[in-house]
Amino acid sequence: MSIAINTIEENLLEENKRGSCPSEFGFGTVFSDHMFTQEYEVGRGWYDAEISPYHNLSLDPSAAVLHYSQEIFEGLKAYRTPDGGINLFRPEDNFARFNRSARRMVMPEVDSAFHLEALTRLISIDQSWVPNQEGSSLYIRPTMIATSPKIGLGASANYCHFIIVGPAGPYFTGGFNPISVYISDDYRRAVVGGVGEAKTGGNYAASLFISEDVAKKGYTQVLWLDAVEGRYVEEVGAMNICFVYEGKRIVTPALSGSILAGITRDSVLQLAPTLGYEISEERLDINQILADIKSGLITEVFGCGTAAVISPVGQFAFKGEDYVINNNQSGDVSKHLYDELTGIQYGIKDDPFGWTQKVQL
Ligand code: PLP
Ligand code: COI
């Protein structure tokens, strides 16, 4: 299928936003001049692929997504390299996860090669939007929504797949500084057999109640425990979680069926052994983790995700007690991994894994 290209003259009003990402942009608030869209109908397949000026979507108020949240999304980034080029990081892995999410949510899959072509053409058209400040990137949000005008419950017959992109700075306002994480004792994110493994909006909506409540008390993220026993560590709101034992062994929860299989998590698991760290994926009891923090066996904790990159955790709160890690300072292992991973992403360091690919501009 070909992609119709309908570009606008560069928007002069937005001129000052291109190529940079000042801190007031924060994360996910500014978007580029164009977007990609395509439509789907059962029996017809995908049609009307188009790159056009960034615009509002027009939906019937009865559109299925508005009522039953049949929706999926992805998050990846494009990085400005020192030679002025643009790198994508493991995009096929995001598109494979998009299709896994689609299958779980009874939505149509998108051909990965076509998805990549649509994205690279969009980035090429809006290349002036890829920021070049340190730590900034172009955040990419592929999304699919169910659009059939029908409020009877059932899988939609129509879908819209779109990609929007925008310059993004650090996800957390403090940059590479430790965050405080609240461990939820009462509320659960996802259950095995449910949709926790899928990147679907409802998982995030379900997390808002307690997240907003504890944000008022200064906690940046919520750590979720398994929904059956409320005992095993799963993940954090926007990240997977890793614990560093004695500065040399990195432990992360094994994928349980309710944890999102993070691409950054997988990158850490592949990268860390090449830097001299041991790694393991285990079922982690929160009581043991907190005891190991108290005894000092756990020397660092960090979250990892596309938006958050590697984010040190300085403190946990659980059942009214605080657990401080590494004196609430960022640690050497987190910094080492951050430097190596971002070095690869930004094309500053060699990429022995073949994770990055240059966008043809
Ligand atoms: N877990 C959740 C719930 C997330 O939203 C994310 C972010 O995408 C992650 C983990 C990390 O996944 P990735 O590294 O693929 O961005
Ligand atoms: C990402 O890291 O890309 C995500 O999708 C997390 C989101 C909550 C910002």
pLDDT digits (tens, 9 = 90+) for 270-322: 999 999 999 999 999 999 999 999 999 999 999 999 999 999 999 999 999 99
Please give the average per-residue pLDDT across 201-221, as a whole number: 95
Q: Whose CA is nearest to atom 10 of ligand 1?
A: 239
Given the DSSP bridges, would you call strands 298-305 and 86-89 parallel, antiparallel or unpaired?
unpaired
- Residue ranges, CATH 3.20.10.10, the chain: 179-344
Query: Is 179-344 a domain of CATH 3.40.228.10?
Result: no
Q: What pLDDT does residue 21 have?
A: 79
Q: Whose CA is nearest to atom 5 of ligand 1?
A: 238
Which of 63, 56, 58 is CA-nearest to residue 158?
63
- Whether 10 has a pLDDT exceeding 70, the answer reads no
Model confidence band, residue 11 (pLDDT cutoffs 50, 70, 90): low
- Whether 323 has a pLDDT exceeding 90, the answer reads yes
CB of 314 closer than 6 angstroms to any ligand 2 atom:
no
Cβ pair 130, 78 in contact under 8 A: yes
Q: What angle do CA 307, 311, 315 make, to 5 degrees?
A: 135
Give the ranges where the chain is alpha helix by DSSP (H).
64-68, 91-104, 112-125, 201-215, 263-274, 286-295, 332-345
Q: What percent of the chain has pLDDT over 90?
A: 90
Higher pLDDT, 264 or 25: 264
Of the residues 240, 242, 309, which should be mutated to test ligand 1's pocket, given the most ligand atoms within 8 Å of the CB? Answer: 240
CB of 166 closer than 6 angstroms to any ligand 1 atom:
no
Tell me how far the alpha carbon of residue 307 lies from the centroid of ligand 2, in angstroms.
5
235 in helix, strand or coil? strand
151-188 confidence digits (pLDDT tens)? 999 999 999 999 999 999 889 887 788 999 999 999 99
How far apart CA 66 and CA 106 sit, in angstroms, is: 16
- Whether 12 has a pLDDT exceeding 80, the answer reads no
Of the residues 29, 71, 306, 345, which should be mutated to test ligand 2's pocket, given the most ligand atoms within 8 Å of the CB? Answer: 306
Q: Whose CA is nearest to atom 3 of ligand 1?
A: 238
CB of 75 closer than 6 angstroms to any ligand 2 atom:
yes
Name the pTM for this structure: 0.96
Please give the average per-residue pLDDT across 315-344, as a whole number: 97
Q: What angle do CA 239, 81, 4 make, to 5 degrees?
A: 85
Task: Extract the tokens encoding 82.
Answer: 């020192």
Task: Tell me which of 3.30.470.10, 3.30.70.270, 3.40.1160.10, 3.40.50.1370 is the CATH number of domain 4-168.
Answer: 3.30.470.10
Taking the CA of 222 as reference, the closest ligand is 1
Taking the CA of 76 as reference, the closest ligand is 2
Given the DSSP bridges, would you call strands 298-305 and 356-358 parallel, antiparallel or unpaired?
unpaired
Task: Extract the tokens encoding 192.
Answer: 């095995």
Model confidence band, residue 8 (pLDDT cutoffs 50, 70, 90): confident
- Whether 107 has a pLDDT exceeding 70, the answer reads yes
Backbone angles phi and psi of 304, in degrees to 5: -140, 135
CB of 240 closer than 6 angstroms to any ligand 1 atom:
yes
Taking the CA of 239 as reference, the closest ligand is 1
Q: What pLDDT does residue 147 have?
A: 98
Cβ pair 30, 13 in contact under 8 A: no
Specify the DSSP class assigned to residue 178: P
- Ligand 2 atom nearest to CA at 305: 2
User: What's the chain's average pLDDT?
Assistant: 95
Q: What pLDDT does residue 13 have?
A: 60
